[in-house]
A and B are shown apart, each in its own frame.
Chain A
Amino acid sequence: MNNKLKNILWPLAFGIGFILIWELGYLHEVLDLRPFQLPIPSQIMTTLYNNLPKVLKDGGVTVIGALIGLTIGSFFGFMIAFLATWFPKWGYGGMIVVTALNAVPIVALSPIMNLWFTTGMAQKIGVVTVVCMAAMAINAYSGLNNLKAFSLDLMETVAADKWVVFRKLRLPNALPNVFTALKINIAASIIAAIISEYFAASTSGLGFGIKDHLRKAEMAMGWSYIVVASLVGVVLYAIIILVERDAIKWHASQR
């Protein structure tokens, strides 16, 4: 048995074992739960299959909002990092502000965005944008500035101007950090979008679906939404990793 196969088989066996224990009701015995509190996997799957169109529609709403917010937020975050690099002395203060923003609990933002935007979509995009901005700004800033000591000297020796230094040295150096931020933001944007839907006035999206079905005590349906939300996260994450592999082939982490 070679190592590659082992790497896949071990976790797989463990996972199948766990799902079996859950399916056969041992989990409920240990945690002292009733099936209506925690549905078994087969029940969740059946419910999901029967309501697929509705769940997918709601999932689409959330994902579109999350992706638009992710794009806007990451763009602004990168611009902040760019400006902070361009004007080091005053830009540094801007980075302090962004870091402080990062510590602000996102949930507090949702009601505020409700006041500013009337539609559920705009409110969702607003929350996701703010959440994604900070992670990108902080990561990109460290990538644009933590250069190898001699590389900047070399650039100065050949009298490269600021713009050339940025394009040929800082930007490639920041790419791995940018991808790190994107990976963080993928998960964060989906979560932020779902949370914003808990408090939004709109009646669509995964967050609303979860809240609504739990209120009606339809646990299996609520879990179906969670399954879809997780799958979406996994798929988007996989896409980012593939793009990253292509974009920074030269980087040590890819070898």
Chain B
Amino acid sequence: MVITKKERRMVAFVWFTSIFVLLEVLAFFLMFVMKDTMAAAKLPFPHTIFIVFVNNWRSLLEAGVITFSRAAIGFGIGAGVGIFLAVIMSLSKTAEKIAFPYLIMSQMIPVLGLAPIIFNIVRDMNLSRIIIAAYITFFPVSVNMLSGLKSVEQDKKDLLYSIATSKFEVYRKLMFPFSMSYLFTGLKIAAPMAVTASILVDMLGSRGGIGVRILYSLYSNTTDIFWASVMTSALMGIFSFYVIVIAENLLLPWRRGASKKDGEKV
């Protein structure tokens, strides 16, 4: 069964509209039927959140940019380290044997749980945001990149070796272009995670940033701002994902539309 693009758009539109309406109804129910005194905090009307968001967009954006930029720096560093590790591991079997178990183990450490500890060690908010975002990013990137480098067919490598291509050239002309789509899969997983990490670090005692807005508005009982901040952080996560998708379309013209095609078969 194949669904056309037009139908798909309609389905998505209907879903989001119905969720919006449902939330409106639930909020109304909570406020006027259940007479819950905390109704405005538990579930405000979606349109109120939206109005508050529009009214405060400038300050929310400023807070968001602080958090987002640190996440982006950490994301860049983590991606660099991840790619570097993957190349080293694909070059040397011994390196892979040493590093791979530790890659897996490094993910067993609840790194977001480490956030307060890292902050205690470096004593600098921005630096700990960057470190944690980098740490979270490097794993999905390096594992995906490695599996990309490993899935190059042997025939292609043999062909290049048979015409006496140097190792460096093999990587440049064959391995890297081939593993790019794998790399972007890793980047797509990592981007929202890096944003999440950055927001969490905010919440553990930073000065500026969207996480601070969330906590501050929660404890000072300005609930409408609280929900608008949560909405901002959600948008940041979604935004980071689409930045990677757009980058993929720009940098890998031969893959254009492939990420869409993946979901074509229903």
Contact = CB atoms under 8 A, between A and B. Distances in A.
Interface of A: 6-7, 10-11, 14-15, 33, 37-38, 88-90, 92-94, 96-97, 100, 102-108, 111-112, 114-116, 145-146, 187, 190-191, 194-195, 198-199, 206-207, 210-211, 214, 219, 222-223, 225-226, 229-230, 233-234, 237
B15 A10 contact: no
B203 A107 contact: yes
Nearest to A6: B97
8 contacts: A103-B237, A107-B199, A107-B211, A107-B233, A108-B199, A108-B230, A115-B42, A145-B266
A93 B199 contact: no
Nearest to A36: B120
Contacts of A223: 117
Given A10-B94, A96-B15, A210-B116, A233 B192 contact: no
A177 to B, nearest CB: 14
A145 B237 CA distance: 27
A89 B214 contact: no
B196 interface: yes
Given A37-B120, A88-B1, A92-B8, A108 B108 contact: no
A168 B58 CA distance: 55
Contact of B110 (A6, A102, A190, A237): A190
Contacts of B211: 107
A10 B98 contact: yes
Given A96-B15, A111-B215, A198-B204, 4 more contacts: A105-B200, A210-B113, A226-B117, A233-B108
B261 to A, nearest CB: 13
Contact of B117 (A10, A112, A214): A214
Nearest to B116: A214
A97 B233 contact: no
Given A103-B237, A104-B234, A226-B113, A145 B265 contact: yes
B110 A194 contact: yes
Nearest to A197: B113
A214 B120 contact: yes
A145 B7 CA distance: 19
Contact of B199 (A105, A210, A225): A105
A198 B229 CA distance: 19
Contacts of B230: 108, 111-112
B110 A230 contact: yes
A230 B11 contact: no
Nearest to B120: A214
Nearest to B18: A93
Contacts of B98: 10-11, 14
A105 B226 contact: no
Most A-side CB within 10 Å, residue of B7, B109, B229, B236: B109
A199 B113 contact: no
B51 interface: no
Residue in B12, B102, B117, B195 whose Cβ sees the most chain A Cβ within 10 Å: B117
A102 B204 contact: no
Contacts of A207: 113
A103 B3 contact: no
Contact of A106 (B16, B101, B120, B196): B196
B192 A105 contact: yes
Contacts of B110: 187, 190-191, 194, 226, 229-230, 233
A225 B109 CA distance: 11
Contacts of A100: 238
B241 interface: yes
B97 A89 contact: no
B112 interface: yes
Nearest to B117: A222
Interface string B99-132: 0111001011111111011001100000000000
Given A10-B94, A237-B108, A92 B266 contact: yes
Nearest to A186: B108
B85 to A, nearest CB: 14
A7 B96 CA distance: 10
A237 B109 CA distance: 12
Contacts of A211: 116
